């Protein structure tokens, strides 16, 4: 995650050279954010996942055309507890950015902040080696940036074999690779300069550019050679200079070199620092488990790794397993968009804990983080019998949604997400925001509006949350079915089959797709069909909504508010609604 000023300190010793005819390994998360920066440098502030994926493949193609052979692209599949504070700080910052943007746009979400460029035409394809500062500062990064890049690579015949999701930090695996095999690491992380690289080198994405002859130029850092130029002993510990830079952020380079030649002042502190660059928890993982991780998103890999580590504890107890959910672009004044899809994720967590839920494993979910000290939302695992019943209910609901969407198959997954939201709200005796938006009449002009209502933005976030929760469930099923889980849950294979057609991240619900759904549903009777199927009472005369105007909040009489509440309250009559809320939450916020 970087050591302040380390790169700038060593910059005078970097070598400007062509990047060509050589082997490299790539820091995957850094690549994802670099591609996002490239798009923004091309004035595409919120690129679609499709464009991000296309740009990543184009970027690798460009390197390949110059003889640069990527050996492996490593992605974090687990971050150690030492990185927890930094992670919480980043999540807090992202949440605050969305809140500030919401406060500054009371008229609605500006359409020009949407990812509208899809890369299908030449005008939408960015210059993939363009760098510099974007003209506009986007308020948030795409919620599923890294897994979307991984998806694009896995779908590429040329690059799918390069993807490696590892049970640790990507930079550690990159460093180990070049230490053993030589070559260069492409990254944005100055931490790589603190690793033992042998004859390996470090190249930063931001330094790549074309010269007048179309060659790719870079600044190459060779730590071993730099140490020699600085007069440090060839046997000097590579992390030592980085440690002194961190300890003495304002010292000059000669002062740092002198500090490296003296005895370490605090052996314990240095030992802890050094461990971050040497400890490889993932080395204990058998090859079969590593292959399993390679099929997962990084966040999903992380909970799998935590369950695996915890299961080896001598007391047989798992302890807390932490899940850091992606920050969604949602309305800060409404309930968290991840809330209603919690039972779907709870089922996935339970699968990872079975066949021994008595181990007291507890999931702590982190979502909409507003302070670094915030505690997670506590979710208990449930029994195999409860899981079995929930699977039956979900399969039944999926079958009935197929009936509603006959002729409108493109709306199957969004409507399934909506139905799951409605069912959970009914169980919790809450109003469903998603249903409230869905049952309104939306004019076609809404799809062309310059601003989109934050109510609709939140509706989209809820659909995305449920879609991603189903993705978590599907990927977990890949893991557990390899271990004979069908012995405990006979219908689990049927659930896996039902989830095979879940759309990729490029086709996840977005604002444009949601507006099409809202406009079409009212015109084609999908609102009434879904309401009748789930036994939901419809308002007698819903007023037309443009979906982009801010509704002024007006005080109403108590009687009017009570009548409004009753008119929107869910009264599900299906089999799904006849059971209690077996997937209840225990908040420790």
SS3 sequence of 494-546? HHHHHHCCCCCHHHCCCHHHHHHHHHHHHHHCHHHHHHHHHCCCCCCCCCEEC
Inter-residue contact 533 to 574 (CB < 8 Å): yes
- pTM for the structure as a whole: 0.88
pLDDT of residue 303: 94
Q: Is 184 in a helix, a strand, or coil?
A: strand
Q: Is 364 in a helix, a strand, or coil?
A: strand
Token representation of residue 432: 């469903």
- List per-residue pLDDT tens for the chain, 589 residues long: 678 899 999 999 999 999 999 999 999 999 999 999 999 999 898 899 999 999 999 999 999 999 999 999 999 999 988 889 999 999 999 999 999 999 999 899 888 777 654 445 445 678 999 988 888 788 899 999 999 999 999 999 999 999 999 999 999 999 999 999 999 999 999 999 999 999 999 999 999 999 988 899 999 999 999 999 999 876 678 899 999 999 999 999 999 999 998 999 899 999 989 988 875 554 566 666 777 889 999 999 999 999 887 666 655 555 689 999 999 999 999 999 999 999 999 999 999 987 654 456 789 999 999 999 999 999 989 888 899 999 999 999 999 999 999 999 999 999 999 999 999 998 988 999 999 999 988 888 877 888 999 999 999 999 999 999 999 999 999 988 876 666 667 889 999 999 999 999 999 999 999 999 999 987 778 998 998 888 876 654 444 444 333 333 333 334 444 444 444 443 333 333 444 444 333 333 3
CA-CA distances (angstroms) from residue 481 to 153, 297, 306, 548? Answer: 25, 17, 18, 45
Token representation of residue 19: 């990047």
The whole-angstrom distance between residue 17's C-alpha and the CA centroid of its chain comes to 35
Closest CA to 380 of 418, 414, 353: 353
Inter-residue contact 197 to 223 (CB < 8 Å): yes
| Residue 272: cis peptide before it, omega within 30 degrees of 0 | no
Segment (H or E) for 187: strand 184-187
pLDDT of residue 449: 85
Segment (H or E) for 334: none
Inter-residue contact 143 to 324 (CB < 8 Å): no
In angstroms, the CA 488 to CA 485 distance is 6
Inter-residue contact 552 to 494 (CB < 8 Å): no
- β-partners of residue 365 are 323, 377
In angstroms, the CA 245 to CA 255 distance is 10
Burial code (b: 16+ CB inside 10 Å, e: under 16) for 575-588 equals: ebbeeeebbebeee
Closest CA to 379 of 307, 320, 446, 465: 320
For residue 138, what are the contacts with CB-CB under 8 A and spacing of at least 6?
40, 45, 46, 113
The whole-angstrom distance between residue 503's C-alpha and the CA centroid of its chain comes to 16
Inter-residue contact 226 to 13 (CB < 8 Å): yes
Question: 362-366 and 441-442: which strand pairing?
Answer: unpaired
CA-CA distances (angstroms) from residue 345 to 147, 296, 359, 465? Answer: 17, 15, 19, 10
In angstroms, the CA 40 to CA 134 distance is 5
pLDDT of residue 82: 85
What's 386-437 look like in SS3? HHHHHHHHHHHHHHHHHHHCCCCHHHHHHHHHHHHHHHHHHHCCCCCHHHHH
Token representation of residue 23: 């082997």
The alpha carbon torsion through 435, 441, 446, 447 (nearest 10 deg) reads 70
Inter-residue contact 254 to 244 (CB < 8 Å): no
In the chain the domains, ranked by start, together with CATH numbers, are 6-80+118-275 (3.40.50.1010), 288-587 (no CATH)
Q: Phi/psi of residue 221, each to 5°?
A: -105, 120
pLDDT of residue 10: 95
In angstroms, the CA 483 to CA 296 distance is 16
Token representation of residue 125: 């394809």
In angstroms, the CA 323 to CA 326 distance is 10
Token representation of residue 273: 């620092």
In angstroms, the CA 27 to CA 24 distance is 10
In angstroms, the CA 232 to CA 254 distance is 11
pLDDT of residue 562: 45
Using alpha carbons only, how large is the chain's radius of gyration in Å?
26
pLDDT of residue 359: 55
């Amino acid at each position: 995650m970087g050591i302040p000023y380390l790169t700038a300190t060593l910059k005078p010793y970097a070598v400007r050279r062509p990047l060509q005819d050589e082997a490299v390994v790539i820091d995957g998360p850094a690549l994802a954010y670099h591609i996002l920066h490239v798009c923004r440098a091309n004035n595409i502030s919120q690129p679609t996942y499709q464009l991000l994926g296309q740009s990543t493949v184009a970027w690798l193609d460009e390197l390949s055309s110059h003889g640069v052979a990527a050996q492996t692209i490593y992605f974090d599949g687990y971050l150690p507890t030492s990185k927890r504070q930094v992670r919480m700080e980043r999540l807090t910052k992202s949440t605050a950015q969305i809140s500030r943007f919401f406060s500054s746009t009371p008229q609605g979400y500006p359409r020009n902040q949407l990812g509208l460029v899809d890369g299908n035409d030449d005008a939408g394809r960015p210059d993939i080696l363009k760098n510099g500062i974007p003209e506009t500062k986007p308020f948030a990064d795409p919620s599923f940036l890294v897994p979307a890049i991984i998806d694009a690579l896995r779908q590429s015949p040329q690059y799918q074999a390069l993807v490696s999701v590892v049970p640790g930090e990507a930079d550690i695996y990159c460093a180990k690779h070049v230490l053993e095999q030589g070559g260069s690491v492409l990254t944005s992380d100055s931490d790589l300069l603190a690793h033992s690289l042998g004859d390996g080198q470090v190249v930063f994405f931001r330094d790549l550019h074309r010269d007048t002859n179309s060659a790719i130029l870079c600044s190459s850092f060779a730590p071993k050679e730099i140490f020699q130029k600085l007069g440090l002993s060839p046997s000097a510990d590579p992390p030592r200079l980085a440690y002194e830079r961190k300890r003495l952020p304002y010292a000059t380079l000669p002062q740092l070199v002198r500090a490296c030649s003296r005895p370490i002042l605090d052996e314990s502190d240095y030992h802890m620092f050094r461990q971050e660059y040497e400890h490889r928890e993932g080395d204990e993982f058998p090859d079969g488990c590593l292959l399993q991780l390679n099929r997962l998103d990084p966040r999903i890999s992380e909970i799998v790794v935590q369950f695996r580590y915890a299961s080896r504890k001598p007391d047989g107890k798992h302890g807390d397993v932490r899940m850091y959910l992606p920050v969604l672009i949602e309305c800060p004044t409404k309930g968290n968009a991840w809330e209603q899809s919690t039972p779907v994720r709870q089922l996935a967590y339970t699968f990872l804990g079975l066949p021994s839920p008595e181990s007291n494993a507890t999931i702590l979910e982190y979502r909409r983080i507003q302070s670094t000290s915030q505690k997670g939302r506590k979710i208990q695992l449930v029994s195999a019998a409860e899981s079995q019943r929930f699977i039956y209910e979900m399969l039944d609901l999926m079958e009935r949604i197929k009936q509603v969407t006959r002729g409108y198959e493109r709306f199957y997954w969004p409507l399934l997400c909506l139905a799951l939201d409605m069912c959970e709200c009914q169980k919790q005796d809450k109003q469903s925001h998603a249903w409230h938006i869905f049952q309104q009449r939306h004019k076609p002009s809404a799809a062309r509006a310059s601003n989109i209502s934050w109510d609709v933005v939140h509706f989209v976030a809820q659909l995305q949350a449920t879609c991603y929760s189903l993705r978590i469930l599907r990927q977990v099923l890949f893991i557990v079915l390899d271990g004979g889980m069908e012995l405990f849950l006979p219908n689990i294979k049927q659930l896996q089959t039902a989830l095979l057609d879940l759309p990729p991240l490029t086709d996840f619900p977005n604002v444009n797709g949601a507006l099409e759904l809202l406009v079409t549903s009212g015109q084609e009777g999908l609102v009434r069909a879904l309401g009748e199927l789930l036994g939901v009472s419809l308002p007698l005369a819903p007023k037309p909504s443009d979906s982009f105007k801010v509704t002024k909040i007006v005080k109403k009489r108590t009687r009017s508010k009570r009548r409004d509440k009753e008119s929107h309250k869910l009264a599900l009559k299906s089999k799904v609604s006849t059971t209690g809320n077996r997937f209840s939450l225990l908040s420790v916020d």
